[in-house]
Structure formats: structure tokens, C-alpha cells
Chains A and B, each alone.
Chain A
């Protein structure tokens, strides 16, 4: 399995887009490190400059009682805000780019002439697919850890405020990427088509956007309502996780509901199980 894992990592390294994503991540934290100037006096933020411009000191991060979230210093508010922005960018933009970058990996492995070479090695089919997925996971986790870890370090060193909960965003963003990748895996194993797997996955993201509009669940009449609610419960909740769970985790608030995350995870587990089963039975 190590051989398949290494082959996948080499393949991703050969793709320019992955190098590009690492380049963008480097640019983000380097620019942040150079451009951010904070005047911190006795643990409080006296002033902040980004690219030399004075930034507004008002905080709009509050909890349900209207109190400033997680501490009352403006400095904390600023740090949480910046980290929330970084986690949001990694979630909303990073996942989409990563799906583009890795979307063709399963289908390329299944091409005639390449899959034959892999299947004739003394490896079970589960190990071959697992090795491929593990390779994708390792690279994506490394990319996320590099981006968010570096942002966290820069912010923490510059402000003296160490917010370890921010690092939880890495695992949530990673898990949601893998949940969406489960549909790419299933479609690729089934059809061998990269375009179709990407279309279906981005279609799923679009459906997630629509289904996340809660008033829609009330306004629509039966039997449409049952279908909409059913789909909402079954499909991954990309919007709900990104709009609620990630920010709440980053600023240290109690997560209102883990259902969107857990049900998305369940979708991923089922899709991977189907992909493995199909790969096991398929003739090439």
C-alpha cells in the first residue's frame, strides 16, 4: 500500500496546481507576517495596521448575550476575526480548489494500462483504493496544516494570544473535503470519468446551498417538502458546516448543533463504502 501512497503523492506533486496551492499558502502567511503591525500595550490592542493603514478598532464579534466573544479585549476580537477569515477562506475557496486539483486522481488510476499494472500486484483491491485515498489525504492535510498552522503561528507570535481552538478548523475543513471527495471517488470508480465526478460534486455543493435555505423547508408544499427535507438530511451540509460550525469552533463558542457535520460524515462513510464495494467487484 505504501507504493500506491507514494505514487499518489508523486502524482500530486507533478500537478502544478498543488504546488500553486502551497505557493498561495506561503504567500498568505508571509504577507500576513510582513503586513500586519499591531501596537499591543499591556495585552490590549492599541492600534492595528495592515499594509500601513490604520484599522477600525470596533469589535462586532459578540455572543448570544451581546457580550464580546471569548474575552473582552479588542485584541482577542481582532485575532479571532482574522483567524475566522483564514479558516473561512480555507473552507470556501481552499476546498473547491483542492477538489479541482485532486478530482482526476481516481479516474486516472483506473485508465486501461495503468489499472492492470496495479491490480496484478499482490495487493487487495481495498488496499489499492485505500492507498490512493490516503495519498490524497496526506497531501491535503499537509496543505491545510501548512496554511492554517502558519497563519496561527504568525497571529499568535505577533499578538501573544494563542488560540489553539483555531487549529480545530484544520480537522473540520479536512473532513469536509474528504466527505466531498467521497462522491468523486464513488463516481470515478463507477464511471471512470473525471468531468462527471466533478460535475456531480459541484452539483452537490450547489444543492447544499439551496437546501441550506431554511425558509424553503417551510414554504414548499407537500410532497415537495418531504423531498427537500429528506435531501437536506441525507446530503452533506457544506453551507451549514462552513457558516456555523467552523466560525463557532474558531472563536471558541459552543457549537449549536453538530448534526450538519455528523450527517455529512455519515454521507461520506456510505459513499466510500459503496466506492470500495464497487471497486472490489468491478472488471477492468
Chain B
């Protein structure tokens, strides 16, 4: 069983208004585990509690109830953040520092040694394509450059767990792909990544597991495959099925193409029922090219879940 990088039990956050008359439940009691080496994506509409959860895990806000651990150390202890890197949304580096000085100063705060800082900053500046601008003050940086500098900052202390809040925000498509590649490289190095992003296609491409929050509650959680696979529906590509064999369990999606194949949706309660349907089709002379579980995109799932939860 893999060790957990993040473990949360009954963690919640409630804000009180100035005179304590009104309570805002930013996060309802939540249980969650993220295993080491995963790329975990956190999704949810605005105000769902995503940022609150990240802030709770990183000690930026205090929990109302419950507990959490990073690599087995309580989130209330600064020690828990020793192996952690963080890229906040809309981060602001002091404008008077150069890119290189920024990396050096923030890594010093993480307890990184002089030698490690020097070596690591050059390596990361190269990795995020900022070597040529490292001597410039950050106030001259574009938004994309600031974002790349922020990612480099988050990686300076060789963290085992990295929280990234909207990492591709303001980054052009090429830069976005580079960041995606960087995330996959980090995963290959065994780094656990906790991703908070509105770009569902990005999450779908890189995340191994996803959770969806809505109004402070966890509404769905699982691997991308588990979540996007639609229950009891399969995509069938075959030679055309005679009308009398279609029945209720199959319907045509697209007519025969130049290769003579059509696409159908097959409805079956389980694998046994699916195989019975396929046998029935074969008996009717249908040649089967492929059968695969039907998946919806993460974006479709997200909209379904959010709309379901709101109704």
C-alpha cells in the first residue's frame, strides 16, 4: 500500500461574520488521502472550497475542526511544510528583486543550503527558460514569466510534494505544454503534485486522481478513468447492424464510413449482459471491430456533477 503524502480527516473551515451572526462554511468536514507519487487534481466551481483546502493544508488558515497530515506530520506544525513547494494563485514576488535573487531568498527561507541554492537556481532557471532574464528585476517580467518563476520557486527546495494553484494561468499554449511536460517529469521523479486548476483539459491530461468539490463538500473522487467512464454504456464499432437486431439495447451513432464500419452505443447492465448482446449480434452476422467503455470528457463530467449537485 503506498504511503500517503496528504491525509485529511474531518477537516473543515467555517468563517464567522464580524459579529458572529452569520457563518460561512467554506469547507465541510472532509476526508481525503493523496498517495505519494500521484498527480492529484482538485476541481470545483468558484467558491467550492478548493483554495480553502489548500490553505488549510499549508497552514495559511487554521482549521475549525478536524486534522490533516503531510507525510505523517500534522499540518499545524511548520515541520510539515519542509518537504513542500507551493505556487499560489496571483503570487506577488517583491518587485525590487531579480529573478535569481527571488529564487535564492525564498529557498533560503525553506532552509536550503548555500551550495544547493546556487546549483538548483541555475538548473531551474534553465528548466523554466528564464536564464536570460534571471538578472532582471521581476517587475519587468510578463505574467507568463512570473508564473514560470513561481514554479521554479516552488521547486527550489527539492520538495516531495508540490501544490500548484492555477499553474498555467497567463501562460501561452507553448508554455502550457512545457509546464505540462515539467509536471510529468516531476511525477516520474516521484514528486507528488496537488493541482488546482480551472483548465479541465490540463487536469485530464496529467492527473492520476481527481476530486470535485461543490459548496465545500466533496462530491466525486476517483481516478480520471473511473470518473469519466460512463456506467453500463459501451462504444461499439462494427459492420451495420440490421434493424431487427438493434432492439432497445443498441442505437446508432454514426452511419457506415468508407471502411464499412458504423458506430453504436450499447447499453448493458454488466459484463455478462454485454457479452450476451455481442453474441446475439454475431449470430445476426455483424462483424465487430471494437468494443470499449464509453467515456465522457472531464469537462462533461464536471458540468454534470456540478449541475446535479445544485439541483
Contact = CB atoms under 8 A, between A and B. Distances in A.
Given A121-B81, A121-B109, A122-B84, 6 more contacts: A3-B106, A4-B109, A11-B94, A13-B96, A114-B91, A120-B58
Contacts of B15: 283
Contacts of B163: 120
Contact of B60 (A2, A3, A124, A283): A283
A124 B110 CA distance: 12
A49 interface: no
Contacts of B251: none
Interface string B87-120: 0101111101100010001101111000000000
Contact of A120 (B81, B90, B96, B105): B81
Interface in B128-172: 153, 163
B62 A281 contact: yes
B88 A121 contact: no
Interface centre among B91, B92, B109, B110 (most CB of A within 10 A): B109
B59 interface: yes
B61 interface: yes
B78 interface: yes
A6 B108 contact: yes
B106 A10 contact: no
B302 interface: no
Contacts of B59: 119-120
B267 interface: no
B82 interface: yes
A122 B81 contact: yes
B151 to A, nearest CB: 13
A142 B153 CA distance: 31
Contacts of B108: 2-3, 6
B71 interface: no
A116 B96 contact: no
A6 B114 CA distance: 14
A284 B86 CA distance: 15
B109 A3 contact: yes
B109 A114 contact: no
B96 A117 contact: no
Interface in A106-140: 111-124
Given A121-B109, A122-B79, A112 B90 contact: yes
A120 B81 CA distance: 6
Q: How large is the interface on A (under 10, 10 to 19, 20 to 34, 35 or more residues)?
A: 20 to 34
The dominant DSSP class at the A interface is helix
A281 B179 CA distance: 35
Closest 8 pairs between A and B when the two form their complex, measured CB to CB: A3-B109, A14-B96, A113-B92, A3-B108, A283-B61, A116-B88, A121-B109, A120-B86
A120 B91 contact: no
A43 to B, nearest CB: 51
Nearest to A6: B105
Interface centre among B59, B82, B84, B163 (most CB of A within 10 A): B59
A273 interface: no
Contact of A116 (B60, B79, B80, B110): B60
A152 to B, nearest CB: 33
30 contacts: A2-B108, A3-B109, A7-B94, A7-B105, A10-B94, A14-B94, A113-B88, A113-B90, A114-B93, A114-B94, A116-B55, A116-B86, A116-B91, A117-B88, A117-B106, A118-B109, A120-B58, A120-B81, A120-B88, A120-B163, A121-B109, A122-B79, A122-B80, A122-B110, A122-B111, A123-B109, A281-B62, A283-B15, A283-B62, A284-B61
B82 to A, nearest CB: 4
Given A10-B97, A114-B92, A3 B105 contact: yes
A164 to B, nearest CB: 38
Contacts of A121: 78, 81, 106, 109-110
B84 A120 contact: yes
B91 A113 contact: yes
Interface in A85-120: 111-120
Interface string A17-60: 00000000000000000000000000000000000000000000
A124 B92 contact: no
A41 B82 CA distance: 68
A284 B60 contact: yes
B80 to A, nearest CB: 8
Interface in B57-78: 58-62, 78
